[in-house]
Amino acid sequence: MNKPYISIIVPVYNTQKYISACLDSLTRQTFEDIEIICIDDYSSDDSVNIAQTYAVKDERIKIIKLNERSGVSKARNIAIKSSSCPYIMFCDSDDKYHPQMCEKMFKAISENKVDAAICAAEVVYETSKKPNDIPEQNFSIMPEGIKILNDKAIALASSSIWNKIFKRDIINARNLAFPDVLINEDGFFWNAYACVCQNAFFLNEKLYRYTRRQNSAVDLMYFKIEDYSLSYLKTAEALYDFFMANGIYKQKKTFFWEEFFKYCLWTLKHSHADLTDNFIYGKANELINKFNPSKESFDEETNLKIAAIKNKRLKRKTWRFPFAWLPIIKTTRTFKKLKIWFLGIPVWKVKYKINAKIYCLLAFIPVLKTKTEN
């Protein structure tokens, strides 16, 4: 076996139905100088045994077995430490690589002398009913070529890590590791990595086959609902700690706060019903006090959003007439805009500032009077 250049990390957990197809796609790569690290997160099915049969036939495959259920973040961190190649890629054990994925990604990052390479992905749905939580356009790519990793480019790259190739020396130099969260660990890893890099090559080819299936992200039997629901807020805290440890917080302050507000909105929208908005706002405000202990003033938009969290008004509020089943007139309010809807059609939009009173009329009927506070 030649010296490998790419370590492909494959976390494995109860995917016996898919892992053979996954490993077939990896072992049949046109670029053969790879190592495949399968790390089993204490599977209760036959997944690890299937992987071991492949390892017997192909010496490029290494098997690591954990003695307890630890989650994908810990599994990936252990695999990174066990890797030996200058480049690192990731593959979920229910997904597949295009036969030329390693070849094209290696060529993109090495020949263009960039810090990362990113490709598009094909999304395959296991059932006819498509989940609406991850739009397919998230895995498309901006025009091909070398791009400076500014805030816009980082956001457009999507937060997934399996459609990217990374440099191991950057990961090690920055002490970059996946945070102990149940979801959005990919988002942290990509944002942290990209923010300490200069550029990346965007490859406009669908080289990764991503399988969307129900309940594939996490088995809640093993984890607390609170830990799942607060994962995005924990990711924000991990990103802040990473920025501070690497001395880039001031440089990336605007990017960080935009990510934090997005994570707050996600938590308010998707958290489990057992967690109240008051509880979530309390956690968010604790983080604001940590992120901004000196009460620094930011631009107007950021100040408005911080005030919205402190006043528990970040989530868009909706008022309707008493008959909820007949929303003839409703109003929706975001950070700086108020809209009035009539029969589902927006008919009035008003901008407002902090401490400004708003009076809105629709067909001469007063429908809202509100005052925002600091």
3-class state of residue 242 by DSSP: helix
Q: Are 83 and 7 in contact (CB under 8 A)?
A: yes
Has residue 324 got a pLDDT over 60? no
> Regarding predicted confidence, which is higher, 185 or 155?
185
Mean pLDDT of the chain, nearest integer: 84
CA distance 265 to 259: 10
CA gap 116, 138 in Å, rounded: 18
C-alpha span between 335 and 300 (Å, rounded): 11
Identify the pLDDT of residue 216. 54
Least confident of 62-66, 130-134, 252-256, 294-298: 130-134
pLDDT above 90 (res 290)? yes
Span 334-346, average pLDDT: 60
81: pLDDT strictly greater than 80: yes
pLDDT of residue 360: 41
Does 356 have pLDDT greater than 60?
Answer: no
Is the per-residue pLDDT at 14 higher than 60? yes
Has residue 345 got a pLDDT over 70?
Answer: no
What is this structure's pTM? 0.82
What is the pLDDT at residue 244?
98
